[in-house]
């Protein structure tokens, strides 16, 4: 997954034009590429999934509908896992994280996995299949590849009514809150420790010292400060520091996440991190993705501009 902070800023700047390009049915190159991929997918799976009686164009539409419903179903679950009050791009970021996850993992791979992973995910998969068939049947009868908004609303309602959804959302909210609280505790303790070092430094350095001893004392105190700053961080803490570090390397990020005074806007940055941390917790809690140390490190490192 690419750097989501930069991705969202780019999406915001080019949103109107990019949405027009991505969604326009008149964009021949994009439609040709998508249809070619779906035809290859149709040819590969037609025997396994019984597509023998289905026309390639119908299968292409079905693939698009499945992808859309799976993405929006996951986003429906995730959208209520983290509430964002300050970050204006919260909804866009949530949608981006989900769509990136689905694109990278693959619809077929996810649906095969979800069907056997947990009750919530198996129900989500069942609903995706059920409503894909409803939508495609209407499209065949009406000879028009349009998704009826009422079918989407029914799909959303069924997602909301899955027994485990509320428990998952409550669990994720609690874990995000715990991670944020621990960050505040750690940050406060580190500031206090650094302040104590600075106080001790002022007390220990005096005019009677030789220049060499004075420099050595300052160097030791600086080393102690660096040890505190570079001490082991929690996942949430690492995400916060990576974004702040990246802001110093990218003016667009700095404009977005820093105050006019030139200091980091910790409320806005933490809001962004809550969404990203919440997404990983949602994947973990539902069983959608095993959060191995390597996977977590990759997601955290993606927030840093090298």
Over pLDDT 90: what percentage of the chain?
32
Residue 50: left if φ>0, alpha if ψ -120 to 50, beta else—which one?
Answer: left
Token pair 């940055």: residue: 269
CB 119 within 8 A of CB 163: yes
Cβ atoms 94, 125 nearer than 8 A: no
Who contacts 83 (Cβ-Cβ below 8 Å, separation ≥6)? 173
Q: Which of 164, 168, 3 is nearest to 82 (CA)?
A: 168
pLDDT of 210 higher than 60:
yes
Give tens-digit pLDDT for 81-113. Answer: 887 665 667 788 888 999 999 999 999 999 999
Let me know: does 294 contact 288? Beta carbons within 8 Å. no
For residue 52, what pLDDT is reported? 42
- Span 161-187, mean pLDDT? 91
For the chain, the farthest-separated pair of C-alpha atoms sits apart, in whole angstroms, at 94
Report whether 149 contacts 156 (CB < 8 A).
no
Q: Are 121 and 287 in contact (CB under 8 A)?
A: yes
Alpha-helical (H) ranges within 161-305 are: 165-204, 211-229, 235-247, 251-257, 266-286, 293-301
Give the C-alpha separation, 23 to 172, whole Å.
32
Q: Which residue has the higher pLDDT, 164 or 28?
A: 164
Number of C-beta neighbours around residue 288 at 10 A: 22
**How confident is the model over 21-78, as pLDDT tens digits?**
555 444 445 444 555 555 555 455 444 444 444 555 567 888 889 999 999 999 999 9
- Mean pLDDT, the chain, integer: 79
Domain residue limits, the chain: 21-163, 168-301
Please provide the distance, in angstroms rounded to a whole number, between the alpha carbons at the two ends of the chain.
Answer: 15
pLDDT digits over 287-303, tens only? 999 888 888 888 888 88
Q: Which of 113, 132, 108, 121 is nearest to 159 (CA)?
A: 121
């Amino acid at each position: 997954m690419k750097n989501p902070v930069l991705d969202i800023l780019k999406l915001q700047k080019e949103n109107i034009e990019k949405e027009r390009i991505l969604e326009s049915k008149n964009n021949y190159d994009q439609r040709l590429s998508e249809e070619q991929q779906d035809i290859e997918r149709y040819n590969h799976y037609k025997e396994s999934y019984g597509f023998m009686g289905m026309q390639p164009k119908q299968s292409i539409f079905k693939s698009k509908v499945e992808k859309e419903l799976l993405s929006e179903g996951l986003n429906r679950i995730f959208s209520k896992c983290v509430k964002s009050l300050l970050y204006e791009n919260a909804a866009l970021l949530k949608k981006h994280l989900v769509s990136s996850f689905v694109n990278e993992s693959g619809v077929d791979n996810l649906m095969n996995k979800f069907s056997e992973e947990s009750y919530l995910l198996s129900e989500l998969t069942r609903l995706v299949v059920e409503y894909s068939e409803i939508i495609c049947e209407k499209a065949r009868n009406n000879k028009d590849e349009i998704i009826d908004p009422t079918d989407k609303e029914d799909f959303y309602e069924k997602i909301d009514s899955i027994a485990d959804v509320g428990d998952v959302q409550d669990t994720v909210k609690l874990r995000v809150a715990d991670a944020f609280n621990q960050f505040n505790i750690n940050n406060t303790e580190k500031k206090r420790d650094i302040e104590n070092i600075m106080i001790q430094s002022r007390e220990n350095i005096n005019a009677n010292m030789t220049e060499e001893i004075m420099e050595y004392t300052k160097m030791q105190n600086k080393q102690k400060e660096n040890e505190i700053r570079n001490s082991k961080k929690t996942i949430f803490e690492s995400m916060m520091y990576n974004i702040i570090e990246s802001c110093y390397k990218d003016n667009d990020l700095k404009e977005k996440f820093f105050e006019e005074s030139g200091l980091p806007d910790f409320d806005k940055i933490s809001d962004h991190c809550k969404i990203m941390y919440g997404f990983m917790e949602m994947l973990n809690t539902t069983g959608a993705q095993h959060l191995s140390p390597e996977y977590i490190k990759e997601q955290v490192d993606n927030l840093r501009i090298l």
